[in-house]
């Protein structure tokens, strides 16, 4: 997209940013992340239907932060992730320039975080349409059917943690699965341990998942693990009227309360 290339070039030339995180075509023709530091190299940047990865995951990586201020090509899920990372004080708005892309694939001039918030608020923030059919099917299942469905799906998990690595909200320097004192989650992949790992991760993402689907896309054995966190995103909206990544000041659903909160969940 010409507007992205020219904006990226301008930002690097006038030293407003030190690196642009965007997409380029890889050797097999698939889009892959690109990290451009020279204005003369911005021509490699692309944006088309192949560019689906959630690039916000790189904003918290020290290898990228070391460059300085970052310009990032941002679709709606990436904008929502950035908003979450700002609200959780993992990145700072003044250290980021947004090269926005609308849901129709058009370049968006995003001058600052308030403009980005205004754009996000106008968008449909429900789960992606291609996942809604399976989510509706899961919602109709009994507890036992749901348990059986997930036990079957997760039985092939090899605990590679690619789902965690791909998720912008899984930025912990030491993930709970890497703790061995106490050992919360068994190291080996087995039926119960796999369930424990995915339940733990889903609870950590409850009300924080911005429904990008990246964890599911990253899974080498095609486990639809994104549906677990998307189900909780639905619940957060249903019970708390919250969509993650809509404000730079949003509080976490599971770690805040109000005195007049309903207590119907207490048995
Ligand atoms: S869909 Fe997956 S990768 Fe995306 S925010 Fe939710 S948990 Fe993270
Ligand atoms: S699974 Fe939980 S502990 Fe591990 S990186 Fe994600 S949020 Fe952090
Ligand atoms: S990416 Fe797939 S196989 Fe790897 S830990 Fe996640 S669900 Fe399991």
Q: What are phi and psi of 32, to 5 degrees?
A: -140, 165
Q: 197 C-alpha to center of ligand 2: Å?
A: 10
Prediction pTM value: 0.94
Peptide bond into 62 cis (omega under 30): no
Other C-beta atoms lying within 10 Å of the C-beta of residue 141: 13
- pLDDT tens-digit series, residues 41-64: 999 999 999 999 999 999 999 999
For 163, half-sphere exposure in the C-beta direction (CA atoms, 13 angstrom radius) is 26
CB 33 within 8 A of CB 26: no
Q: What is the 3-state secondary structure (H, E, C) of 122-189?
A: HCCCCCCHHHHHHHHHHHHCCHHHHHHHHHHHHCCCCCCCHHHHHCCCCCCCCCHHHCCCCCCCCCCC
The ligand placed nearest to the CA atom of residue 56 is 1
Average pLDDT over every residue of 211-219: 98
| Longest CA span, the chain | 63
pLDDT score of 261 more than 80: no
Spatial distance between the Cα atoms of 1 and 77, rounded to a whole number of angstroms: 19
| Ligand 2 atom nearest residue 176's Cα | 3
- pLDDT tens-digit series, residues 72-105: 999 999 999 999 999 999 999 999 999 999 999 9
| Ligand 2 atom nearest residue 178's Cα | 4
- For the Cβ of 170 lying below 6 angstroms from any atom of ligand 2, the answer is yes
CB 13 within 8 A of CB 38: no
- For the Cβ of 228 lying below 6 angstroms from any atom of ligand 2, the answer is no
């Amino acid at each position: 997209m010409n507007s992205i290339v020219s904006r990226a070039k301008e930002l690097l030339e006038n030293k407003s940013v030190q690196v642009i995180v965007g997409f380029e075509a890889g050797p097999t023709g698939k889009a892959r992340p690109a990290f451009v530091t020279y204005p003369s190299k911005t021509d490699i940047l692309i944006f088309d239907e192949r560019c689906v990865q959630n690039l916000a995951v790189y904003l918290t990586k020290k290898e990228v932060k070391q460059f300085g201020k970052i310009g990032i090509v941002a679709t709606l899920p990436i904008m929502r992730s950035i908003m979450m990372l700002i609200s959780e004080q993992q990145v700072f708005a003044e250290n980021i320039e947004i090269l926005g892309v609308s849901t129709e694939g058009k370049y968006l001039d995003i001058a600052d975080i308030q403009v980005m918030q205004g754009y996000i608020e106008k968008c449909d923030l429900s789960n992606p349409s291609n996942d809604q059919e399976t989510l509706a099917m899961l919602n109709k299942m009994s507890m036992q059917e749901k348990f059986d469905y997930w036990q079957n799906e997760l039985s092939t998990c090899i605990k590679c943690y690619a789902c965690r690595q791909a998720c912008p909200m899984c930025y912990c320097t030491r993930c709970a699965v890497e703790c061995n004192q106490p050992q919360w989650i068994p190291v080996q992949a087995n039926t119960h341990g796999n369930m424990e790992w995915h339940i733990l991760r889903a609870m950590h993402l409850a009300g924080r998942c911005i429904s990008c689907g990246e964890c599911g896309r990253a899974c080498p054995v095609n486990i639809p693990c994104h549906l677990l966190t998307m189900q909780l995103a639905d619940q957060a909206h249903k019970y708390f009227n919250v969509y993650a990544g809509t404000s730079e000041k949003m509080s976490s659903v599971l770690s805040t309360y109000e005195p007049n909160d309903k207590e119907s969940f207490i048995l």
